[in-house]
Structure formats: C-alpha cells, structure tokens
Amino acid sequence: MTEEINVAGVFVPTFVVACIFALGLAVGLSATLRRVASLEIRSFAWHPALFDFAIFVILADICYTLLGRFLA
C-alpha cells in the first residue's frame, strides 16, 4: 500500500486522509441518528460521546482499508 498520497505537491499520510473521510461520515451519521427519533440508538449507549468516538474509529478503519485497496 502507498503510505502517502500526493495532494497538490504535498505528501499526506494515507491515515490522515482516511480520518478526514471518516470524520465527515461520523458527523453525518451522528446528526442523522440524533434527528431520527424512531431509531433512538444513542439512548442505549452508556456514554454518547464515547459511542460517537467508537463510530469514528470504526469508520476510520473502514476508510483506511478501502483506501489501501484502491491505491494498491
């Protein structure tokens, strides 16, 4: 896997790009879960902020894996 991506002449680590994508997805998913009252998934979480962070970590891993497959 390529460890760095060339963005406008600046080499950026692949993990940073994956985290940026995951952050956007996590914010969107968190906003969606807050607005949809019928799901109430966050009410089952012991600590909502920790739940959001766990979702971010899962999405970051998925994005990093997908970037690795696309760039290989």
How far, in whole angstroms, is CA 62 from its chain's centroid? 8
Question: How distant, in Å, are the alpha carbons of 12, 33, 69 from that of 50?
Answer: 28, 15, 29
Residue of 51 and 3 predicted with greater confidence: 51
pLDDT in tens, 8-60: 999 999 999 999 999 999 999 988 888 876 667 777 888 888 988 999 999 99
Question: How distant, in Å, are the alpha carbons of 2, 12, 14, 19, 65 from that of 70?
Answer: 10, 16, 11, 16, 9
Q: What is the pLDDT of residue 57?
A: 97
In this structure, what token pair is assigned to residue 48?
């909502």
Q: What is the pLDDT confidence band of residue 1, given thresholds at 50, 70 and 90?
A: low
Assessment of whether the complete model's pTM goes beyond 0.85: no
